[in-house]
Structure 1
Amino acid sequence: MYSVDSVKELQDLNPYIVVGCGGGGEKFSNLEGIETVGFIDDDPRKQGTLFCGLKVSSSLEECLEEVSAKSIVIMLPIGAEGAALKYAVKAIDSGLNVVCSFRSLPVSENPSLSKFASAKNVQIKEIGPRLDVVEKIAGIAPERSCEVLPKISYTPKAPVIFVGGTSQECGKRTTTKALGIESAKRGLTPAIISTDEMGLEEPTDFNFRAGSLSAMDVPAAVLSAIKYVEEVKNPDIIFIEGQSSLTEKGNPHPRGLSAAILIGAAPDAVIIGHRPNHPYREPRGIVEEIRAIEAVEPTKVVGISINLKNAGLDMDECYFEHTYGLPVQDVYNNGASKLLDAIFDFLEEKE
C-alpha cells in the first residue's frame, strides 16, 4: 500500500527536501526526474556546506525558510530511526509528503505515522527492500529486511590477524585457538573472536554465528566485536576466525560470508588453513585462496596452517613449505609457534 513501485510515483511528489547528506541522499537526488531543492543533515560539519550543489541546512524549519518543497525524503542509515521519526512527524505536521526507506523508517512498523499523514491529507511512502521480488523469483523471502545493524567506523589499536582457509572444516577454529595459546605463552594478551556457533572452547573470548546475519551486517558485527574486545581486554593482538572459503567449489553459499568476515576484520595479516585430500569438501587450493584473499582486502597471507588428517604419506610441513614458499605448521600436532613468528616478522617489516 505504501511501497514505491516506480520512479514516476516519486516524480509526482516533486520538489523534495532530502534529509541525509550521504550516499543515500545523493543517490535519491540523482534519480531520473527528481527535483531536489534542499538538504538537511544533523552533522554540524556538513551544515552550511554545499552538497550536490545545494546548501545543507541544520533543520527542517531552517530549510523551509529558504526553499519551497512539496515533500521530504528521509535517507538516513540504520540506527538513526529516532531522528528519522522526528523528521517525519515535523514534515507531516508542516503539510509535506514523506518518502522514507526501510533502512531509516519502515512504514509498516510505524502505523501511527500513516494515520497522521492521512489526517493531514498528505502521502507517506516507503522505498522498500523489495522482498516481494525476492519471493517471486526464489519462492520464499524473509518477512522483513535482515539488515539491522548500524554501520560502524573504528580503527583497531592492536594488530588484527584473520584466519581463513581453502574450505570448510579445514582447521580454522583450531588454528585460531592455537595462535591464541602460543601468544599467551609468550606473555602477550591475545583476543580471540570466533564467528561460529561452535566456537565455545577456551581461550576464545566470545563467539557469535556470523551466518545468522545478513551479508551487509557481518562486517559491522566483526568490527563491533573488535572494538568491544579492545575496550574490555586491551589485547596485544587480535585473532579472528573466518568461515568457509572464498574459493571452495561445490558449495557457493558460504563464500559471501567468508568475504564479509574478511572485510569486517580488515586484517593486518592472514593465516590460511588447508586440508589436503578433504573427504567431503572441494577446495580449489592454496594458491587460489591466497590470490582471492589478497584481492578482496589489502592484506598479506603470511603462513599456512596444514591439517594432515587425510594427507598422503608424502605430505608434511616441509613439502608444503617447499611448494608454496611460506611458513607452514601442523597446528594439530605442533602448535602454532612458527605461524606466530611469521606474523610478527611480517608486522615488523611493515613498520
Structure 2
Amino acid sequence: MHTLSSVEELRELNPFIVIGCGGGGEKFANFAGVEAVGFVDDDPRKHGTEFCGFKVSSSLLDLIKETDARSVAIMLPIGAEGTALKYAVQAINEGKNVVTSFRSLPLSENTSLIKFAERMNVTIKEISPRLDNIRRIFGVAPSRCTEMLPKINYRHKAPLVFVGGTSQECGKRTTTRLLGKEAIERGLEVGVISTDEMGLEQPVDINFRAGSLSVMDVAAAIMGSVKYLEEEKNPDIIFIEGQSSLTERGNPHPRGLSASILIGSMPDATVLCHRPNHPYRKPRGIKEEIRAIEALEPTKVIGISLNLRNISDRSIMEEYEKRFGLPVVDVKNGGASRLMDVIMEYIGEI
C-alpha cells in the first residue's frame, strides 16, 4: 500500500522538493518525467551551491513557501534516519506528500508517520528494496534490508597488512594470528582483526563474522574496527584476516565478501595464503589471485604463506619461490619470522 513500484506513481506526485544533495537526490531528480523544483541539504558547505540546476537551500519550510511543490522526496543515506524523520514530519505538517527511500526512512519501522500522513490527508510512500521480488524468485527473503551501518571513510594511520588467500580454508586465520604473535614478540604494539567468528585464538583484538553483514556494510565495518583500534591502542602495525578468495572456482558467493574486506582494509601490503592439493576447494591459483588483489586495491603482494597440510615434499616451497618470485614460508614451522622480516623491510621502503 505504501510501496512505490513505478516511475508513473512518482509523476503523479509532481513537483518535488528533494532532500539530500548526493547520489540519491541526483538519481531521483533524473527519473524521466519527475519534476524537481528545489533541493535541501543539512551540510552548510553545500548551501548556496548549485545542484542539478538549483541553488541548495538550508530550509525545507522556506522552499515550501517559495515553490509550488506538492511533494517532498527524502533521499538521505543510511544513518540519517533522525534527519529524515524531521523532514518527513515538517512536510506532512505543511500538507505535502512524502516519498522516502528505505535507506532514509523505512516506513515499516515508522507506522506512526503513516498514521500522521493519513490524518493530514497526504500520501506517504517508500521506494523499497523490493525484497518481494527476491521472495518471489527464491521463496525466502530477509524481512527488511540488511544494509544498516553508516558509511564511513577512514584511512588507517599505522601500516596495515591484509592476509588474503586463493581459497577458503587455506591458512588465512593461522597466518594472521602468527604474524600478530611474531610482531608482539618483537616489541611492537599490534592490532589484529579477524573477520570470522572462529577468530578466537590470541592475539585477536576484534573478531566478527563479516559474512553476516550486508556486503554494503563490510567495508564500513572494517574501517570502523581499524579506527576503533587506532583510538584504543595506537598500534605500530595492524593485521587483517581476509575471507575466501577473489578468484576461487566452484563457490562464487563469498567473492564479493572478499572484495569488500580488501577494499575496507586499504592495505599497504598483502600476504597471500595458498593450500596446494586442496582436498575440497578449487582455487584458480596464486598468479590469478595476485593479479586480482593488485587490480582491485592499490596494494602489493609481498609474500606467500603455504598451508602444507596436504603436502609431504617441502621442496615445493623453493619451487614456488622460483615460480612467483616472492618469499614463500610455512608459518607453522618458523616461517612467520621470515615473513615478518619481509613485511618490516617493505614497510620501511614505503
TM-superposed CA distance for 1:309, in Å, is: 1.1
Partner of 2:263: 263
Partner of 1:199: 199
1:238-317 to 2 correspondences below 5 Å:
238-313=238-313, 315-317=315-317
- CA deviation vs aligned residue, 1:209-241 (integer Å, no higher than 9, x gap): 101111111111111110111111110111000
Q: Distance in 2 between matches of 1:210 and 1:65?
A: 47
Partner of 2:323: 323
Q: Distance in 2 between matches of 1:140 and 1:56?
A: 42
Query: Do the aligned partners of 2:162 and 2:242 also contact (CA within 8 Å) in 1?
Result: yes
Q: Distance in 2 between matches of 1:154 and 1:238?
A: 14
Which residue identity does 1:134 align to in structure 2?
A: I
Query: Do the aligned partners of 2:15 and 2:37 also contact (CA within 8 Å) in 1?
Result: yes
Partner of 1:227: 227
TM-superposed CA distance for 1:340, in Å, is: 1.9
1:81-230 to 2 correspondences below 5 Å:
81-230=81-230
> Structure 1: any 5+ residue segments left out of the alignment?
none
Partner of 1:20: 20
Query: Do the aligned partners of 2:155 and 2:266 also contact (CA within 8 Å) in 1?
Result: no
SS of 1:217's equivalent?
Answer: helix
Q: Distance in 2 between matches of 1:212 and 1:289?
A: 24
SS of 1:216's equivalent?
Answer: helix
TM-superposed CA distance for 1:317, in Å, is: 2.5
TM-superposed CA distance for 1:312, in Å, is: 4.6
Q: Distance in 2 between matches of 1:124 and 1:314?
A: 67
Q: Distance in 1 between matches of 2:321 and 2:138?
A: 45
Which residue identity does 2:134 align to in structure 1?
A: V
SS of 2:3's equivalent?
Answer: coil
SS of 2:281's equivalent?
Answer: coil
Query: Do the aligned partners of 1:166 and 1:283 also contact (CA within 8 Å) in 2?
Result: yes
Which residue identity does 1:180 align to in structure 2?
A: G
Which residue identity does 2:100 align to in structure 1?
A: C
Q: Distance in 2 between matches of 1:104 and 1:339?
A: 46
Query: Do the aligned partners of 1:302 and 1:327 also contact (CA within 8 Å) in 2?
Result: yes
TM-superposed CA distance for 1:75, in Å, is: 0.6
1:2-41 to 2 correspondences below 5 Å:
2-41=2-41
Which residue identity does 1:97 align to in structure 2?
A: N
Which residue identity does 2:180 align to in structure 1?
A: G
SS of 1:132's equivalent?
Answer: helix
Identical counterparts, % of pairs = 66
After TM superposition, the score normalised by the length of structure 1 is: 0.97
Q: Distance in 2 between matches of 1:66 and 1:48?
A: 15
TM-superposed CA distance for 1:252, in Å, is: 1.3
Which residue identity does 1:150 align to in structure 2?
A: P
Q: Distance in 1 between matches of 2:207 and 2:155?
A: 21
Coordinate RMSD, CA, aligned: 1.1
Q: Distance in 2 between matches of 1:214 and 1:165?
A: 21
TM-superposed CA distance for 1:120, in Å, is: 1.0
Query: Do the aligned partners of 2:191 and 2:238 also contact (CA within 8 Å) in 1?
Result: yes
- CA deviation vs aligned residue, 1:33-71 (integer Å, no higher than 9, x gap): 111111111111111111112111112122224322111
Which residue identity does 2:139 align to in structure 1?
A: G
Query: Do the aligned partners of 1:175 and 1:305 also contact (CA within 8 Å) in 2?
Result: yes
> Structure 2: any 5+ residue segments left out of the alignment?
none
Query: Do the aligned partners of 1:42 and 1:58 also contact (CA within 8 Å) in 2?
Result: yes
SS of 1:140's equivalent?
Answer: coil
Which residue identity does 1:125 align to in structure 2?
A: K
Which residue identity does 1:7 align to in structure 2?
A: V
Q: Distance in 2 between matches of 1:213 and 1:128?
A: 19
Query: Do the aligned partners of 1:17 and 1:40 also contact (CA within 8 Å) in 2?
Result: yes
SS of 2:68's equivalent?
Answer: coil
After TM superposition, the score normalised by the length of structure 2 is: 0.98
Partner of 2:72: 72
Tell me whether 331-340 or 72-81 shows the greater mean CA deviation: 331-340
Q: Distance in 2 between matches of 1:75 and 1:161?
A: 37
Partner of 1:59: 59
Tell me whether 332-341 or 206-215 shows the greater mean CA deviation: 332-341
Q: Distance in 2 between matches of 1:35 and 1:159?
A: 49
TM-superposed CA distance for 1:314, in Å, is: 5.8
TM-superposed CA distance for 1:339, in Å, is: 1.7
